[in-house]
Amino acid sequence: MILNNWSVRIGGSALVLLVLIALAAPWLGTVDPSLFDAGSRDLRPGMSGEITTLEGEILQHTFPMGSDSFGRDVYSRVLYGTRVSLLVGILCALVAVSIGVACGLLSGYLRWLDGILMRVMDGIMAIPAILVAISLVALWRGSVVTVVIAIAIPEIPRVTRLVRSLVLTIREEPYVEAAIALGTPTWKIMFGHILPNCVAPLVVQGTYVCAFSILVEAILSFLGVGLPPDIPTWGNVMAEGRQQFNDYPHNIFFPGVFLAVTVLAVNILGDGLRDTLDPKMAKRV
C-alpha cells in the first residue's frame, strides 16, 4: 500500500541509490579520499592526472569531478562524503526521535512532570540550533558523535511536542479508558496502546529531522565547526572549494548537487509517507 504512492517510490528509490553509492564507494573507481598529489591540483572534471598513495606508489587516475587545490580527487571525496551525510542524518533522526518519544510520553501521560519537562524543552528551543552545535563542537572537538549530538539536541523539543500532543489526544480515546478499566498497568498503556498509534506521524517527523540534519551537518562543516577538514564530507569539500569558486566551480557544484538531491529525496519520501501513513495530515483526499 505504501509502495503505491509515487512520492514514496521516487524518494525511496533515490535514497536506496544513495545508500548503495555510500556502501559501494570503494568499488566505484574511487581512490582513498585523503590522498593528494601536488602535481594534480585544480584539475577540471574529466581530466587525468597522477595521485600518490600512502605507500608512495604513483597511480594514474581520472578525476571525473576534477580535483581540489590540494590535488585530492573530488569524486572520491563526494562519494565517501555520502557515507558521513547519511550516517549523520539517520543517527540524528534516531537520537532525536527516541529521546523525544521518551520525553513526550512522560510529559503527556504523567501530568505532574509535564510542566517541568516542557519548560526545559522551551528552554532548548530558545537557543538557536547552529549556536548549540558550534558551542558543543568547540567544547568536545569535532567527531561524528559530537556532531550528531549537537544537531539532535535542538530537534528533541520538536519531537517531544509532537508526541506530547498525540499522547494528549490518544489518552482521551475510549480504548485507553477501557484499558484503564481492564486494569492495564500504566506502562503497558503507554507502550501498548498509545505509542503504536503515534508511529505514523513519528516516522514522518523522523524523515524531516533526517533531511534537516543532513543539511545542518553540511552547514557546520562548511563553517568549519563540524567534522575535521580531513574527513570527507560534502560541507568540507564545499568549504575548501569556496576560495576558488569563480575559477573552479566544480568543487562546490558536485557536492552541492548530491546534498540537494539527498535532502530532496528524504523530504519527498517524508511527504509520501505522510500521505499514506497519516491520512489526517495529508492534503489529498
Partner 1 sequence: MNVLEVKDLSIALPPGADRARAVSKVSFEVGRGEILCLVGESGSGKSVIAQGVMGLLPKTLPLAAGSVRLEGEEIAGCGEARLRQLRATRMSMIFQEPMTALNPVMTCGDQIDEVLKFHSSYSQEERKKRILGIVEEVSLPDPERMVAAYPHQLSGGQRQRIMIAMALVLDPVLLIADEPTTALDVTTQAQILKLILDLQKKHGTGVLFITHDFGVVAEIAHRVAVLRLGELVEIGTRDEVLKHPRHEYTKMLIGSVPTLKPHGRPADQDAPVVLATNKLSKTYAERGWFGAGREVRAAEDVTLEVRRGQTLGIVGESGSGKSTVARCIVRLVDPSAGEVRVCGTEIATMGAAALRPLRRKVQIVFQDPYRSLNPRRTVAEAIIEGPLNYGVPRAEALERARKLLELVRMDASALQRYPHQFSGGQRQRICIARALAMEPELLVADEAVSALDVSVQAQVLRLLEEIRTRLNLAMLFITHDLRVAAQICDQVAVMSRGRVVEYGPAEEIFLRPKHEYTRALFEAAPGRGFAFGST
Please report, for residues 128, 207, 222, 254, the alpha-carbon distance to residue 257 in angstroms, rounded to integers and kept in the order given. Answer: 27, 20, 15, 5
Please report, for residues 32, 34, 45, 213, 231, the alpha-carbon distance to residue 27 in angstroms, rounded to integers and kept in the order given. Answer: 11, 16, 20, 27, 19
Please report, for residues 67, 129, 136, 182, the alpha-carbon distance to residue 219 in angstroms, rounded to integers and kept in the order given. Answer: 21, 12, 15, 52
Radius of gyration of the chain (CA): 23
| Nearest CB to partner 1, comparing residues 37 and 275 | 275
Stated as kind and residue range, the H or E segment containing 63 is: strand 58-63
Q: Measured from the CB of residue 285, what is the shortest distance to partner 1 in angstroms?
A: 7
| Nearest CB to partner 1, comparing residues 198 and 238 | 198
Find the DSSP H helices in the chain: 6-23, 74-109, 111-126, 129-140, 144-170, 174-181, 186-188, 199-223, 234-241, 250-277
Which amino acid, one-letter code, is at 185? P
| Nearest CB to partner 1, comparing residues 125 and 199 | 199
Q: Measured from the CB of residue 160, what is the shortest distance to partner 1 in angstroms?
A: 22
| Nearest CB to partner 1, comparing residues 1 and 182 | 182
| Nearest CB to partner 1, comparing residues 24 and 178 | 178
Size of the site for partner 1 (CB under 8 A): 17
Distance CA 157, CA 97 (A): 10
* 284 is an interface residue for partner 1 by CB under 8 A: no
Q: Measured from the CB of residue 196, what is the shortest distance to partner 1 in angstroms?
A: 5
> With the C-alpha atoms ordered 257, 260, 266, 269, is the resulting torsion angle positive or negative?
negative
Which amino acid, one-letter code, is at 194? I
Interface characters, 215-234, with partner 1 (x: CB under 8 A): --------------------
Q: Measured from the CB of residue 173, what is the shortest distance to partner 1 in angstroms?
A: 5
* 140 is an interface residue for partner 1 by CB under 8 A: no
Please list every residue from 163 through 202 that binds partner 1, using CB under 8 A.
Answer: 173-175, 177-185, 188, 193, 196-197
| Nearest CB to partner 1, comparing residues 184 and 244 | 184
* 285 is an interface residue for partner 1 by CB under 8 A: yes
| Nearest CB to partner 1, comparing residues 39 and 115 | 115
Q: Measured from the CB of residue 164, what is the shortest distance to partner 1 in angstroms?
A: 19
Q: Measured from the CB of residue 109, what is the shortest distance to partner 1 in angstroms?
A: 14
Binding stretches for partner 1 (CB under 8 A): 173-175, 177-185, 188, 193, 196-197, 285
